[in-house]
Amino acid sequence: MTRVRAAVARSIRSATGRMNNTNPSVSADNQSGMPVTAKNQQPLVIHPAAFIEHSPELRSWNYARGLVSMDLEPFPLVDDFEIRLHETENFGMHVAFSSSALGIISTFPWWDNVEMDIPAMTQETFPCGTLEKPYDDMEEGWQILIFAVEGFVYVLQGAEPGCTTFHTWYKVEKNRYFQAWEKVKERLLS
């Protein structure tokens, strides 16, 4: 537990500087290198927000209006951000945002066969919007918002479409975010 908490403290910098004692247990899947639960062998998402005492909340599901007034300072920085692909049984590859210290931190559970989409994407079409018009995707039991402000890309993930409270939230340096997408694209093209 001490090693995980130390890694989290190094990897995530929070304006609050406080962490809860929550520590999800993770085992490694030798084939994919992704954290998995022992029971179902599916990727286990570790939420950076689990280590912070509060979650961002918007006043309404009108995200463009709500994000403008959101305080972005408390968003923890994931400074070892990377993008991983993992094979599903029936739906091709899926994308996962990850951190070497934290494991999988966000997923796109409904984006099937990404190996067919990503090679044609560019920096303008990788998932990222603006504060006024965030990238907004949702499906049953899942919502994600991604937007860039100045030198950072902010990610919020919630548990249902149109949610106003987000269980996962963090920021990544903008250059690192887009470099991670380019790296995945290069791997798929080779």
pTM listed for this prediction: 0.74
Q: What is the pLDDT along the chain (190 residues), one digit of tens a residue?
A: 333 333 343 344 333 332 222 323 332 332 333 333 333 334 444 455 454 556 777 877 788 888 888 889 999 999 999 999 999 889 999 999 999 999 999 999 889 999 999 999 999 999 999 999 999 999 888 999 999 999 999 999 998 898 888 999 999 999 999 999 999 999 999 9
Distances (CA, A) of 189 to 82, 108, 118, 120, 186: 18, 21, 9, 10, 5
Q: Where are the domains of the chain?
A: 2-189
- Decide if 169 contacts 56 (C-beta within 8 A): yes
Tokens 């909340």, residue located: 57
Residue 112 corresponds to which tokens in the numbers above? 């099937």
Q: According to the model, what pLDDT value does residue 52 have?
A: 52
Q: How far is CA 163 from the centre of its chain?
A: 16
